[in-house]
A and B are shown apart, each in its own frame.
Chain A
Amino acid sequence: MSGKGIAQKVRDTQVWKSIFRHGPPDNARNRAAVIAGNVFLHLHPIKLKKSGVQLGYTWCMGGLTFFIFLALTVTGLLLMFYYRPTAEYAFNDIIALREHVPLGIMREIHRWGAHAMVITVWVHMFRVFMTGSYKPPREFNWGVGVILLVLTLLLSFTGYLLPWDQLAIWAITVGSGMAKATPFAGNAGPGAMLARIGDFVMVSDKNDVRFQLLGGRFVGEPALLRFYILHCVFIPLVVGVLIAVHFWRVRKDGGISAPL
C-alpha cells in the first residue's frame, strides 16, 4: 500500500485544500491560520490572555447566551414549519407538536432554552458587573449588553403568547396591561385624560401604545400575529445585529474582560 494514510490522502485533495487553507492546527502558524481564516472563528483573537479562558473568571455565561440564542434560532425555524399564527390553528399546532410531529420535543427545547437564555444573560450581566468590566473603555458595550438583555426578555415575552393557551393569553394580558398605564401614551396612564377635545379622544384604548402592540383592544388574533412577527423576525434581526456589534466591541475593547 502507499505510504500515506487515507486521512492524509483526503487532506491532499484539491477539495480539502480549497476549503481548509492550512494544515492541522498543531503548530503556531496553523493555530493562527485556523482562527484568522475562518469566518466563524475570526471573531476570536488569535491569542488571548490566560484569564480569558478560565471558567472561574469568565463563567462562560455570555458565550452560553449566544449559543442558546443560536439553538433557539434553529429550533424556532423548525417549529415555524408546523405552526400557524392564527386563532383557529395556533393551539392545535402546539398540540400537534406535542402529540405527533416527529421530534416535537423541539418545542420543549425551544421553551426551556428561552428560559435558560434569560437566566444566562442575567448571570452574565451579574458577572460583568462584579468584575467591573463595564468600566472604560467598555461603557458603550455595556450599554449594548443592557439593550440585548431587554431584547432577550422581549423575545421570551413575545414567544410566550404563541401557544395560544390560557397561560399565554393571560400572561400577555397582564404583561401588556402595563403598557396602557404609560404616561400620556396609554389610555389608563397619567395625562391620558388631558389629551382630549370634546369627544375627540386622543388617547383611548383604540389608539394607545397597547393597541399598537396588540393590534387591538385586547389580546386577540391581531396580537397573535404581531407577536409572532416580532418574535420570529423583528426582534431576532435586531438582536443579531446588536450581537455582532457586541462581539466586535469585545474584540476592539481589549478582548474578553481582563484586568487592564
Chain B
Amino acid sequence: MSENKEPGMAYNMSKLHKVMAVLSFIFFVTTVWVFLDDYIRPWKAIQVEAQQIKRKHTDDALKAATKELDGKKLSDLDSSLAKGQEIVSGRKAEIEKAEKELKVVLTKLKAQTIKNGVLNGDVSAANFQYETAQGAHDHKTAEKKLEELTVLKKEFILGKDNSKALQAEEKIIRAKLADLNKEVISTEKEIKEFTMKVTLLKAAKATTDINPIFAIRNMPFIDYLDPTIKIQQIVINNVTDDRYFRQVPKVDRCITCHVFIDQPGYEKEKQPFRTHPKLDLMVGMESKHPMKVTGCTSCHGGEGQRVNDFASVAHMPDGEKQEKEWIQKYGWKEPHHVASPMFKLSQTEAGCVKCHADVQLVKGATVLNEGRMAIEKYGCYACHKISGWGENRRKPGPSLLKIAGKVDKEWFKSWVWEPRSFNKHSKMPAFFRQSNNSKPEFIRLNMAEVNAIAEYVYDKSKPYVANEKFHPGNAENGKKIISQVGCLGCHGVDGLEEQSDKVKAYAGPWLTGLGSKVQPDWLVSWLKKPSHYQEDTIMPSMRLSDTEANDIATYLLSLRNKSFEGLTFAKLDTKARDELLAEYNSTFDTYASAVSKVAKMGDREKTLDLGKRSIGKYGCYSCHNLEGFDGYEGIGPNLTKEGSKPITQFGFGLQHQIPAQRDAWITAHLQRPSRWDEGIDKVFKDLNKMPNFYMSEAEAKKITVALLGQVSDVVPLNGIKRFTAGEALYNEAMKVAGKYNCMGCHQIDGLRGDILKAYADDINQGPPRLVNEGHRVQTNWLYHFFGNVEPIRPWLQIRMPSFNLSLEEKNKLVAGFQQGAQQGTFEEPEMTVAWEPGEKEGAVKLWNSYNCVSCHSIGFTKDTPLAPNLHLASKRLRPSWIKLWLKNPQGILPGTVMPSFFGDDGNAPIDTTVFGGDAPKQINALTKYVIELGGKTTTK
C-alpha cells in the first residue's frame, strides 16, 4: 500500500482511518462498560424484589378489602347517585342562575379586593409617614398626614366591610348551590368514604407497578431525576463514629436492603425483607429505640455506610451452618479492614452495653444479663477493671484475714493447688496443673510458690475464737432447714442437688465436704452470726435458733471429702524457693549477685518474701482480703474497651483452629486460658497467669457477649438515656441489691428471683416478688424492716434474712425503691380515716361479703393465715397501693392467691349491692377500713 502514500505523508490516510475506527470502537465499548459498571448494583435487585413483595402484600390486602366491600350497598349507592343526578339535572335552570349570580359576586369581590389592596398599601404608607413626622417632631406635617390617614382609614374600613358583605353573599350562594346539588354531593361523598380503603390500596398497588415510567425513572444516566430505586439512609446525630478523634454522626444505609425492617406485616418474609423481630422494643416508631433515632449499627455493629456488597457490611454468620449458607448465597467472606464487624445473631445483645453501661441488668437482654451475672459470679471484675462495674465492689472471694481460725494450713495448700479436687463446683479458679505449667520443673516451682503463699497467709492471719460451741444435732432436720429457709438462694448444697440445680445460685459457694474443711465451732458461729468472723461479709444472718444452727452444722459437717482429706502437700522445696527468689531479685541485677543477696536472707524471711511475691504475682489479693496488699491494682488487663480491641492485639498463639475473631478468642480464653502457651517454649515467669475457671462453653459465650459490648465508642450525652434523679437512685439501690444478692430470692420488677424456680408448683410459697416495691410499702416501714426483720407472711418457710447492711446501703435501698416508684417519702403516712356517711357500714358489708378474714385471718380467727396481717397494713402499705392492689391483684402479681373482686378491668365488683356496685367507691371504703384496722384515729 505504500505506493498510495501522498507526498509529505508518513502514513497512508485510509490506514489511519482504520486504526482510528478500531480504537474508537474500543473506546466506545469501555464507555458503555463504565456506565453499566456504575449502574448495576446488587441492592437494586433487592429493592426490585422488595417491590414485588410489597405488591403481593398490597394485593392481598386489596383483595381482602374488596371482599369486605358490600357489593349491594355499592350498587345501591350507585343507583342513588344516578337518581340524585336526575333530580339535580331537573334543577338545571336554577343552578345555572345561581352560578351566574356567583360569578357576579366573585367579580365584585375581586374588584373590591384590588381596591382594598391599594387602600391597605396607602394606609400603611400614610401611617408610616405620619409616624415618621411625629418622630421628627414635625407637627405640621404630622397633622396633615393624620388627616389623610383618617380619611384613608375610613375608606379602608368601608372597603373591608364591603368585602365581608360580598363574602357573606358568596357563602350564601355557595350554600344554595350545594343545596341544589345535595343529592349528588352527599352520595358522592358517601361513595368516596365507602371505597376509601380500596382506593388507597389501589393507589399503593399502583406505586409498585413495573411499567415504562418505572423503567425511565430508574434508567442509567437519568436516574438522578426522581428514581424509585435508591439508597436509603438514616443519619444518627446522637450516636457517632470516631474519625480521627472527631465524632461524626453515624450513617446507616442498612434499610436500603432491609426495606421492611420497621414495617409490621413482613415477619414471615425471607431476609433481608423481614420485619425486625422486636418491633415494640427496637426500630418501631413507638418503641424506645426508634429507627430514625437509634439507627442500626449503633446496636448491631458493622459498617452501616456500605451497601454494595454483602461481605463489606461485615455481616457475621452465627455458626458454621450459616457461614456455609452465606458463602454459597452471597459469596460471604471474612471481613477485612473492618474495625467492628457486626455482632453475630446470638451476640446481638452485646450492642446494649454501649449505652446501658451503668446498669446492672438490662431488661429484655437475657443473654447479656446472664453474661453479666456470670461475671459477677466469677468475679472477673476483681482482676480486670471494667468500667461500669463500679469502683468499690466487694472482693468476690472470702476474707483470709482470720483464715487460721477457719481451715488448717494443709487443707489450704491442697485447695489452692487444685480447688476442683475438693469442690467440683468451686468458683475458685485453678492456677496450677494447667497445660502450660505441668512440666515437672514448673510443678516443682509452683509447689514452692503454694507453700510460700500458705506460709505468708497463715503468718498474717489474725487469731479467731469461735463464739459458739458446736453440739451435734439432727442432720436430717438440718438438711430440711437448709432447703426451706432460703440458703439455696445463694448456695448450692450437696444432697440437695435437685433444688440447687434449678436455682443455679452463685452468690455463695457450693456447700460440699465441709466436714473435711472447717472446724465445727467456726461453722456454728458463722451460721449464727457471719459478721463475727468477717465484718464485711454479705452472708446474712438467718436468725437461726441454736438448735437450728447446730442441726444445719451437723448436716454440713456430715458432708466429707475423704479422698481430699487423705492428701498431704509436699514440704517446701527450699532450693526451688531460692531459685525463684533469685529470679525475682535478678530483674535489675546480675543473677550471681541476686543469688548472693538471697543467700544472705534468713530462712523464714525467704519463705515469707516468696509468699508475698507469689500472691502479688497471681493476684490473690484481688479476690481475697489479705494483709499487706493495700493499694494493689488488679493484675488483669483492663476490659473496658475489650469489644473494640484490634484483633491483632489478641494473641492466638498456635491455636489456629480458633477463628481470628474477637468473640472466638474471648470464649476460648475463658474456657482454657493456658491454651495460648501450648506449643510455645516459655520461661516460667512468662507463663500465662490467667487461671482456669473450668467454665462451660455456654457460660463462656455469655460472658463473651457481655465483654464484646465493652466498646470504645463515645456515645454523645444526648444519645444515651439519661437517668432522672429517681431512676439514678433506683439504679444505685439495684447495685446494693446486687451486692447482697437480693435477687437470688426476690424477683425485683421482673428480674431474676432465682430461687423462685424451686417453687414452680406454687409461686406463692416462695419469697414475695417485688413489683414497684417503693409504691407498695412505706419508706419508713422499709427502713425499719431492714434493721429489724419481722415476719409478714408467717405461713412461709423461707425467711427474709437480716443483712449486715451499712447505714448508707440501707438508705440507698430505701430511697431507690421509693424514688424508682416515683413516690414521695411521706405519702399519707399518718392518714386519718374520714368516713363519708354510710361508707363505713358499706365497708363492713364488703369486708364480710368478700370474706377477707378467711385468708387475712391474723387477729380475727384462729385459722392458719394465708395472707399478711391486715392490722399492720396501715403502717406498712401505702393506701394508694392498696387501692391498686384491690382493683387488680393479678395485674401486679400474676398467679397471686389474692382474688380479684372487681373483675379483670377492676370495674365490675362481685358484690353489686353495696354502693350500687360502684367499684371505686367500694375500693375506697375497703382501703379506709384496712387502714382503720391499724388503729388510726377515726373522724366522723
Contacts and interface: CB of A to CB of B under 8 A. Distances in A.
Q: Do chains A and B touch in the complex (CB under 8 A)?
A: yes
B213 A201 contact: no
A197 B226 CA distance: 11
B217 A200 contact: yes
A212 to B, nearest CB: 9
Interface residues of A, number: 9
Contact of B213 (A198, A204, A206, A207): A198
Contacts of A201: 225-226
B588 interface: no
A33 interface: no
A199 B225 CA distance: 12
A202 B225 contact: yes
17 contacts: A197-B213, A198-B213, A199-B207, A200-B213, A200-B216, A200-B217, A200-B225, A200-B226, A201-B225, A201-B226, A202-B225, A202-B226, A204-B226, A206-B226, A207-B224, A207-B225, A207-B226
Nearest to B246: A88
Contacts of A198: 213
A198 B207 CA distance: 10
Nearest to B216: A200
Contacts of B224: 207
Nearest to B206: A198
B895 to A, nearest CB: 55
Interface in A192-249: 197-202, 204, 206-207
Interface residues of B, number: 7
Contacts of B225: 200-202, 207
- 3 interchain residue pairs of minimum CB distance: A207-B225, A202-B225, A201-B226
Contacts of B207: 199
Nearest to B203: A199
Contacts of A200: 213, 216-217, 225-226
Interface of B: 207, 213, 216-217, 224-226
A202 B213 CA distance: 11
Nearest to A202: B225
Contacts of B226: 200-202, 204, 206-207
| Chain A contact residues, majority secondary structure | loop
Contacts of B216: 200
Contacts of B213: 197-198, 200
Contacts of A207: 224-226
A45 B207 CA distance: 70
Given A200-B225, A202-B226, 5 more contacts: A197-B213, A200-B217, A201-B225, A204-B226, A207-B225
A204 B226 CA distance: 9
A91 to B, nearest CB: 17
A226 B213 CA distance: 32
A197 B211 CA distance: 12
A3 to B, nearest CB: 57
Interface string A137-156: 00000000000000000000
A200 B213 CA distance: 8
A46 B216 CA distance: 61
Contacts of A197: 213
A152 to B, nearest CB: 31
A200 B228 CA distance: 9
Contacts of A206: 226
B117 to A, nearest CB: 24
A232 to B, nearest CB: 24
Nearest to A88: B246
Contacts of A199: 207
A204 B225 CA distance: 8
B668 to A, nearest CB: 44
A195 to B, nearest CB: 9
A114 B207 CA distance: 52
A155 B224 CA distance: 27
Contacts of B217: 200
B228 to A, nearest CB: 9
Nearest to B207: A199
B542 to A, nearest CB: 63
A206 B225 CA distance: 7
Nearest to A198: B213
B202 to A, nearest CB: 14
A202 B226 CA distance: 7
Interface in A78-101: none
B243 to A, nearest CB: 13
A221 to B, nearest CB: 13
A164 B870 CA distance: 74
A46 B538 CA distance: 104
Nearest to A201: B226
Q: Which of A198, A200, A201 has the most CB of B within 10 A?
A: A200
Nearest to B228: A200
A72 B429 CA distance: 75
Nearest to A206: B226
A201 B224 CA distance: 11
Nearest to A211: B224
B232 to A, nearest CB: 15
Interface in A165-192: none
Contacts of A204: 226
B226 to A, nearest CB: 5
A201 B217 CA distance: 9
A117 B203 CA distance: 58
Q: Which of B216, B217, B224, B225 has the most CB of A within 10 A?
A: B225
Nearest to A207: B225
A63 B224 CA distance: 44
A238 to B, nearest CB: 24
